[in-house]
Amino acid sequence: MRRRLIFAFVSMAVMIIALYGVPRAVMTAELVQSSQTQRVDRMAILLSALVSERERVGPVTADLFKSLLRPEDGVTYVGADGDTLHVGATADGDDLQKTVEVKDGGTLTVTRSGSYVTQLVSDAVTPVIWIGVLLLFVSVIGAFLLGRNLSRPFVKLAGTARDLGAGGLSSEPEKYRFPEAAAIDRALRDSADTLERRIRREHEFAANASHQLRTPITAVRLELEDLSLWGETPPVVREQLEHAVQEIDRLADAITQLLALARGEAAAESACAPLAQTIHGAAERWRQHANATGRSIRTDDLDDALGSAPAAASQILDVLLHNAIKHGRGTITITAVRRAEYVTVQVADEGPRPSGNSIFQRRPEQRTATSGEGIGLALSAELAESLGGHLLLEGDETTRFSLILPARD
């Protein structure tokens, strides 16, 4: 901005100086030229009158002209009898000259050196040029000072915006001489207050929701544990109750991880489990659901070389399997391979591949939705990023999701 302001002011100054100085210089040069031409004309008339008076009393000699001529002037007198008398500077092609007729016959020509006239024009125009240069220099200095003063508020506003982004906006507002800059500063500070209140409400909501959910979840878990410990409970029912307790524990872990993600904490710092076990567990959880729709889930041979993964990886696999069952076709295949420092887990089905990667982006209507419909893949991508990995949509014709995670031994 400062450069553009300086360039604009200097350009305006140059334009004004040119519009004033060029016509002024031309007028000065023409005035000098006209003045010298008039002087030569008057001198020719005066000398012709002197020659007429002198011819009445005697011959015209060079002494008559020498006392009246300057070094840059010259006179040529041609008498009635044809005699020529030249006094002073020799005439040149660019000299000013004036020829008049003498009263008793003959002609008189007066010349003035062109170089002398040029020098007079230069002497008259030079001050105009120096004034223009001085004005241009002052304009440049003024443009720098004015540009700095005008841009300083916006530099401060940029710092205020950076502080707003970093969350360290000072409470003391800046004092600006320009009302526009003061208005922008007030708008930024009002926006900062609004954002702070909104973020505080969201954090309070997340904490309250977590607390309100944990209490009934804990109560249900205790009741299920009590039922599983009753002697009258059949073994088959006890097995289902223990499975339900495990799912409740997973639900509590998911709430904890989502709360940590909302607070900006790293999900990778949560407890880890063997990745092969996590994959098999996710496949078993969704196998009955897939079989109910006439489909199947197949997992390749997995070994312990895959290492471990944070608990959030289980949530991502649940979303991918649910998405494959709901939107995909055919057999669902889960594969995993470790390459150097990363592990790639792929969940594929035989359905057509969605176009683009917009399925990982939250649409505007989903940002304020309360049902949670359509945000699973977007949330999974964010969880993968928090784990230091990526969630990608691959494949050419069929759907294949790849979860890339850092390898953990």
Residue range 206-230: average pLDDT? Answer: 74
Residues in CB range of 397: below 8 A, 6 or more apart: 352, 353
Q: How far apart are CA 164 and CA 194, in angstroms?
A: 12
φ and ψ of 234, to 5 deg: -65, 155
Cα 303 to Cα 282: distance, rounded to the nearest angstrom = 16
pLDDT in tens, 55-95: 777 777 888 788 788 888 888 888 877 888 888 888 777 88
List the single range of 115-129, 157-171, 226-240, 305-319 with lowest mean pLDDT. 157-171
Residue pointed to by tokens 């049902």: 371
**Six-digit token string for 212:** 């309100």
CA distances from 190 to 33, 40, 173, 344 (A): 69, 80, 11, 46
- With 0-12 / 13-18 / 19 or more C-beta atoms within 10 angstroms meaning exposed / middle / buried, residue 134 is exposed
**Domains of the chain: residue spans and CATH:** 2-136 (3.30.450.250), 179-245 (no CATH), 270-406 (3.30.565.10)
Given a cut of 80, whether residue 393 has pLDDT beyond it is: yes
pLDDT score, position 49: 87
Cα–Cα dist 157/174, whole Å = 9
List pLDDT tens digits, range 267-299.
545 678 888 888 888 888 888 889 988 999 998
Task: Look at residue 116 and tell me whether its pLDDT is greater than 80.
Answer: yes
Greater model confidence, 373 or 304: 304
pLDDT at 149 > cutoff 80: no
- On average, the pLDDT of the chain sits at 80
- Burial 38-68, CB ≥16 within 10 A → b, else e: eebeebbeebbeebbeebeeeebeeebbeee
What's the pLDDT tens digit per position in 336-364?
988 878 899 999 999 888 877 678 876 65
Please name the residue that has the structure tokens 């070094």.
71
Distance CA 269, CA 179 (A): 49
pLDDT at 315: 84
Q: What pLDDT, on a 0 to 100 scale, did the predictor assign at position 370? A: 41
d(CA 199, CA 133) in angstroms, rounded, equals 59
C-alpha dist (Å) from residue 311 to 143, 279, 336: 62, 11, 17
Mean pLDDT, residues 128-134 taken together? 87
Neighbours of 228 (CB within 10 A): 17
Can you give the pLDDT at residue 31? 92
Conformation bin of residue 115: beta by default, left when phi > 0, alpha when psi is -120 to 50: alpha
